[in-house]
C-alpha cells in the first residue's frame, strides 16, 4: 500500500533511516530538482519527497542525493549556479542533506548558502569548478 509505504510517520519511525535518491540537477544554494529542467518535465518525484523528509525526521537518519557531475556527454554541469526559469524544485535547499557525485560528498545540512555553494563546487566536475566559483562570487558576494 503506497499510502503506508510513503507515510512520513512510518519512515521516520525507523532509526538511522537512509534515503538515497537521484536528481537531475542541484543549484549552488542546494535546491534539488528531480523532475524538470526549465519548463521541460522529465520525471515525477515518486517517493522521493516523503523519503527525504522521513529520513530527516528519523533518529540518526540521513538523506543522500546522488547524481553524475555532468550531462550531455560531459558538456554540461549538473551542479548549476541557479535553475532555469520554470524548473520544479523537488527538494528545497533547507532540506538538502548530502549530495554525492563521482568527485565526492557535499554535506549541506545546516550550512549557510555560501558554505553550501563551496561544498557543491567541491564535488562538481573539475572542468566546471572555475565557472561555478565565478557565478557564486557574483551571486553571493556582490
The CATH number given to whatever domain includes residue 114 is 3.40.1080.20
pLDDT tier for residue 1 given thresholds of 50, 70 and 90:
confident
Predicted TM-score of the model (pTM): 0.94
pLDDT for res 142: 67
Question: Residue 49: which domain range?
Answer: 2-140
Distance of alpha carbon 49 from alpha carbon 8, whole angstroms: 9
Instruction: Kindly report, residue by residue over 65-105, the tens digit of the pLDDT.
Output: 999 999 999 999 999 999 999 999 999 999 999 999 999 99
| pLDDT higher than 80, residue 141 | no
pLDDT tier for residue 123 given thresholds of 50, 70 and 90:
very high
The count of structural domains within the chain is 1
Q: Please, what sign has the CA dihedral across residues 16, 19, 20, 23?
A: negative
91-95 own/partner pairs: CB under 8 Å, 24+ apart: 91/23, 91/31, 91/32, 91/34, 91/48, 91/49, 91/52, 91/65, 92/31, 93/27, 93/29, 93/30, 93/31, 94/30, 95/52, 95/53, 95/56, 95/63
Which among 133, 130, 119, 137 has a CA at the least distance from the CA of 26? 119
Instruction: Kindly report, residue by residue over 16-70, the tens digit of the pLDDT.
Output: 999 999 999 999 999 999 999 888 888 888 899 999 999 999 999 999 999 999 9
Amino acid at each position: 500500500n503506497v499510502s503506508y509505504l510513503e507515510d512520513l510517520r512510518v519512515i521516520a519511525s525507523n532509526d538511522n533511516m537512509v534515503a538515497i535518491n537521484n536528481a537531475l540537477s542541484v543549484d549552488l544554494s542546494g535546491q534539488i530538482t528531480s523532475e524538470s529542467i526549465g519548463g521541460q518535465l522529465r520525471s515525477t518525484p515518486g517517493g522521493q519527497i516523503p523519503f527525504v523528509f522521513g529520513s530527516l525526521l528519523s533518529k540518526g537518519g540521513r538523506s543522500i542525493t546522488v547524481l553524475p557531475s555532468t550531462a550531455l556527454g560531459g558538456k554540461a554541469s549538473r551542479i548549476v549556479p541557479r535553475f532555469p526559469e520554470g524548473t520544479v524544485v523537488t527538494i528545497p535547499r533547507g532540506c538538502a542533506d548530502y549530495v554525492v557525485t563521482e568527485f565526492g560528498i557535499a554535506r549541506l545540512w545546516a550550512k549557510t548558502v555560501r558554505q553550501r555553494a563551496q561544498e557543491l563546487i567541491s564535488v562538481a566536475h573539475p572542468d566546471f569548478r572555475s565557472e561555478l566559483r565565478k557565478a557564486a562570487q557574483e551571486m553571493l558576494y556582490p
